[in-house]
Amino acid sequence: MSLPICPATQIPMTVHNQKLVDKIARGLRSHYPLFYVLGWEEERIERLLTAISSSFSEGRPLITWTSSLGFDNGDKAQPIQDPMAALQAIGRAEAPALYLMKDLPAYFTDNPALVRGVRDLYYRLKGRGSYVFFSHPVLNLPDVLKKEVFFVEMELPSEEEILEQLQRYLKKIPQVTQPPQELLHRLAVAMKGLSLTEVGHLLARIFGRESLEMEPSVRFKKKRRKSCARRVASATVRYSTRWTTSAAWTISRSGC
C-alpha cells in the first residue's frame, strides 16, 4: 500500500514522521484494523492521520471521537459519548473510514467489558477497510489486546520540526527582523525535548509582548526525570529588535 502525504496537510515530513508513517503503513498492509498511538500531541496525531486518510485511492474520512463530545466528522456530529456505545457504532458503520478515538485507553483499567468490546470490534472490522486509532499519552494496553492492536509511538518533535515551527511563528510577526538561520538552529536545539505545544507557549512568552524595545529576557527550564538521572535543559533567550553583533540572541543549554 502506498501512502503518499497530502501537501494540504502541511506536515513536515521529517525522519521521525516518515518512520511513523512507514510503521502505520506496515500495520495497514498487514490488515490490522486497530492501532494504539502513544503520544502527547493530539494535533500532530490528527494531522498525520488526516494525511494518511487522504492517501487512499478512494479516500476515507477521518472521524474523531472524545468522551466529552462524541463523534465529530466535520459538519456531522454524533453525541455518542459512552465508550462502549462508540465502539458499537463504529462496528455498525457501513462506509469505510479512519477513526481517531482520543484517550479511549484511559477507560481500559478495571473495565473488562470495554476490553471485550475492543476485541469484538477487531473481528467485526477485519477486511472491511475501516481502521480505528486509539490515542493516549500513557501506555495502557491490556495484555489481552496486544495481539489484536498494532502499537505505534509518536516521538517528541525533532530539531527540524521545531525549527520549522520557529520559522512559521516568526513569519506571523512582521515587526520582528528575521534572525540568522544559525541562531534559529541553536534555539531549536535548546528546545529539543519539548512538544510543539510547549514550543508554541514558549514562543508566546518570548515574543508576545506589546513592546519589543525593552530587550526582554526569558528563561525557560524543562526538567525530565529518568530512571538513573535527572536531565535538566534550560534555554535563555535575549531578544533585540535589531540583529547586530552586539545585540542578538544568546542561547545556553546545560544537562547531565
Residues 185, 188: Cα–Cα separation, whole Å:
5
- In this prediction, residues 56-77 reach a mean pLDDT of 85
Q: Cα–Cα–Cα angle for 50, 198, 183, nearest 5°?
A: 105
Residue 167: pLDDT above 90? no
Domain range annotation of the chain: 7-153, 159-238
Residue 169: pLDDT above 90? no
Residues 209, 241: Cα–Cα separation, whole Å:
12
- In this prediction, residues 92-116 reach a mean pLDDT of 96
Q: Which of 88, 150, 80 is nearest to 116 (CA)?
A: 88
Residues 3, 52: Cα–Cα separation, whole Å:
6
- Look up the pTM and report it: 0.70
Residue 131: pLDDT above 80? yes
- In this prediction, residues 140-152 reach a mean pLDDT of 96
How big is the chain by its Cα radius of gyration, in Å? 21
Structural fold of domain 7-153: Rossmann fold (3.40.50)
